[in-house]
Chain A
Amino acid sequence: MATLTIDGKTITVVEGTSVLDAARKLGISIPTLCHHPKLSPYGGCRMCIVEIKGIARPVTACTTPVSEGMEVSTSTPYLEKLRRTILELILSDHPNDCMVCEKAGDCVLQELAYFYGLRENRFAGERRIYAKRDGNPLIERDMEKCILCDKCVRVCDEVQRVRAIEIAYRGFKSKVCPPYERDLDCEFCGQCIRVCPTGALTGKKWALKGRQKDIKEVDTICPYCGCGCNLTLNIRKNEIVRVTSKEDTLNEGWLCSKGTFGYHFVNSPERLKNPLIRIAPKSSEFGVRSSELKEKLQTQNSKLKTQNSKLFREATWDEALDLAAKRFREIKEKHGHDSIGALASARCTNEENYLFQKFMRAVIGTNNVDHCARY
């Protein structure tokens, strides 16, 4: 343990804690742009510089471990002047288009510019201009807005372990890009979007769907797999405009590509909302080779919207359940209960799968229960 004072307040923390974390424990806020609690410290944005007694030059709070007896000041006029200069430099190379930016209202850079009251810029000069847009289908990468905080690079490496991006070039021309500046072709987990402090990274499908201030948040569980990640649906005008996840959850705020980008089925016009009962005979399907069957199903699917009525008719839940129960009973009586088997889904919750096997064993009377994850 080490005891130190920050802005005159004393705190004792475990050895190895950063000055930044110690300050935050005391409720002292120090501005940061490149820091993320789950990523390795970087020390690139220089906003979290603090003064430590006995050390001549300011040091970054995020990279400096505490030591016994340390005396830290976080907000002297001297530091605030340096922070202002740093911010001014960042903004001198940043498009001035908050008016049309997806991230407005939810942008760390905008927030800092507001609190430091930066309107004029002493350093206005050349800006990085990138005409080419990344052609990947999901992640908008507007590198003109990038402040090179390296969070996306680190999250991709340290959390996702993919390393799809890295900083290329040097100095003012530095740029985060995929290898050889090709279009991004990765897992599309969207972790990078999640950590980006600016509007440089956003979801392509989110564009013009509404900014954060209009959003209603609904917490739910991801339906895609048994991990059961926590989702927060971002809803505007009764439509999911994007999906996020909170950090204090079992998945720590990280999601995969399905959880992040795969929500369009919710509002899809093709989504089934009522049970359907087949009306067309299906005996003709038997004995057909699988490839032909596949083809047939494909044409059927594409026609589903129009031809649905020829194959199925809508029913009420009561009617559909009655029909299923009746058919189960008939099969059981005719062929015995072990003629029935069932496959559960990995996408169901534990509780649902429990009920499912219970139903098969206790009601149908069979142990032929298995799970799609085995196949």
Chain B
Amino acid sequence: MKTEKNDIKIKVCMGPGGIATGGADVIKVFKDDLASANIKAKIGKGCSLHKVGCFGLCARDVLVDVIVGKNKTTYQYVKPDMVPRIVKEHLIENNPVSEWTVGDDYYSFYNKQIKVVLSEFSEVDPEDIDTYTAVGGYEATKKVLTKFTPEKTIAIIKKSGIRGRGGAGFPTGVKWEICRKVESDQKFIICNADEGDPGAFMDRAVIEGNPHSVIEGMIIGAYAIGATKGYVYVRAEYPLAVERLTIAIKQARGKNLLGENILGTKFNFDVRLKLGAGAFVCGEETALIASIEGQRGMPRAKPPFPVHSGLWGKPTVINNVETLANVPYIIRKGADWFSSFGTEKSKGTKVFALTGKVKNTGLIEVPMGILLREIIYDIGGGIEGGKAFKAVQTGGPSGGCIPAELVDINVDYESLAKVGSIVGSGGMVVLDDTDCMVSIAKFFLEFTQAESCGKCVPCRVGTKRLLEILDRITAGKGREGDIELLEDLGNDIKLSSLCGLGQTAPNPILSTIKYFRHEYEAHIKEQKCPAKVCKDLIEYGILEEFCKGCGACLRVCPSKAITGEKKKPHIISVDVCIKCGACFDVCKFKAVKKE
């Protein structure tokens, strides 16, 4: 009995999803309850309460693992008020609360996944370096610093075939090699943690869940290229990531993994944080460098590339969070192990933020080359509410929409590029038949338009004009020729913009026109929104024959547009209606029509 008590572990998801749904409160109640239960039920002192990183399945948050001995039970949708019962029945009476545990579909979410950078999330307490070293953390650092030359290190990374996870997919080993060969008195390595795409939270989860893996990647990279200083450029909007990085850096310094004469090898390297002020374009590497230097964050033309002339004009390698987090595992487990995942040209695994209309939303890590179908149906559990799968938007504002008929493509750099989208940083928004493709394109254009740095004309003025055209199309004022104008201008912007932002900003429009041209046509020619999303093109009304006169719609209408006596058909006054759709959602009798 004694050992069993010592083996009790409670793990509460404190990834972005867990935090948002009240993970901290759940932890607090667990702490309190365990403390009091401690005395009564004598649940030994060994009970440890971990704040663990992302579990992945955000839709089920707060997720809690209760591990007794070798038995793990996972609870889903945990609220603080559920904790006392779990403590009482499961931990005291040894009788798990089965109605709250996850079902089979929860495990299918994991079956097709292969976790590398997310692999140690449930073992590691991100605020405790010892839990990272306990699972082999910093072994790669030791190995590299004591056994490998920088050239050998680079050779391993090259052999693994890993390509940058920040969007462009440039081979990491090649980047390091070029930088290694540039002669300079000073070099830098920068971790790009600016993650600004709407819907993306992969990098955030990696930093919050396992910050030491990123720092370890940086140490190895620095050694390989010959840098003595590193920066993590992290968004100020990620306070927890900042906090955990700060703690991690401090702990790493304490263990002489950062600083001077690291592990007695005469190698010096230290890392500083630089907080970004929330500009998407500062994720672009030259803008990021300008921002660290204290300049306005605007991209500049390349060449020279940062590997030749980067921060303060010195050779600089910039890598994405996920890229760097892969590095320790590649060193630890070998290049062959890494390249056994993936396709010929896209090696390893990739983390995606699966969101939108799938049943299981959350953070997933899959081998490159997995079928889109597997992601959506096996991992994502299919479309929520039995609706029809329409398309998936990958790569965020720089990416494109892949229609349902292409669901059997492989998810890798080349295949996605072929159909007009990109892997990008890993956003994946699943759309169903209630999504209007013109509105989706407009959503992303609103973002890129507002985030354009303003330096070059095609992006600064061009995206504004694209948005204006989309605005009028969704308002039913589209003109003959607008689709062609969008295509023409979109292509010109792609070709003539300075940086990746402008060069990819038209993708959401161009890909939706390519696959859903008829929806644009319906908006323009018939003033109809087929998905019934565009407010200006729909009208709400009440079907007399179905209306029971219950008054639910009347009470919920914020603009008092609905009138009618009890038990008699109600009426919507079209002039007063603001088309919020509240009545449509609330009516139990499907008596509210939208057309």
Contact = CB atoms under 8 A, between A and B. Distances in A.
A169 B457 CA distance: 15
A159 B450 CA distance: 32
A43 B456 contact: yes
Contact of B452 (A42, A60, A171): A171
B485 A46 contact: no
B492 interface: yes
Interface stretch (B53-61, B123-131, B189-197, B460-468): B460-468
Contacts of B460: 148, 171-172, 174
A46 B498 contact: yes
B456 A171 contact: no
Residue picked from A42, A125, A169, A170, most chain B C-beta under 10 Å: A170
Interface string B375-412: 00000000000000000000000000000000000000
Contacts of A150: 455
A320 to B, nearest CB: 59
Interface stretch (B260-268, B295-303, B333-341, B555-563): B295-303
Interface string A301-323: 00000000000000000000000
Contact of A86 (B457, B485, B503): B457
Contacts of B301: 41, 43, 59-60, 63-64
Contact of A171 (B303, B453, B485, B503): B453
Contact of A172 (B458, B464, B485, B503): B464
A117 B182 CA distance: 48
A170 B450 CA distance: 7
Interface stretch (A88-96, A195-203, A328-336): A88-96
Interface residues of A, number: 37
Interface residues of B, number: 33
A43 B455 CA distance: 8
B457 to A, nearest CB: 5
B505 to A, nearest CB: 11
Nearest to B461: A89
Contact of B279 (A43, A57, A123, A170): A170
Interface in B309-335: none
A178 interface: no
A57 B495 contact: yes
Contacts of A59: 301
B167 to A, nearest CB: 16
B454 interface: yes
Q: Which of A41, A65, A92 has the most CB of B within 10 A?
A: A92
B449 interface: yes
A86 B497 CA distance: 10
A171 B454 contact: yes
B95 interface: no
A228 interface: no
Contacts of A123: 461, 465, 489
B460 to A, nearest CB: 6
A151 to B, nearest CB: 13
Which of B298, B457, B496 has the most A CB atoms < 10 Å from its CB?
B457
Given A43-B300, A85-B496, A125-B468, A169 B454 contact: yes
A343 interface: no
A169 B454 CA distance: 8
B451 interface: yes
A49 interface: yes
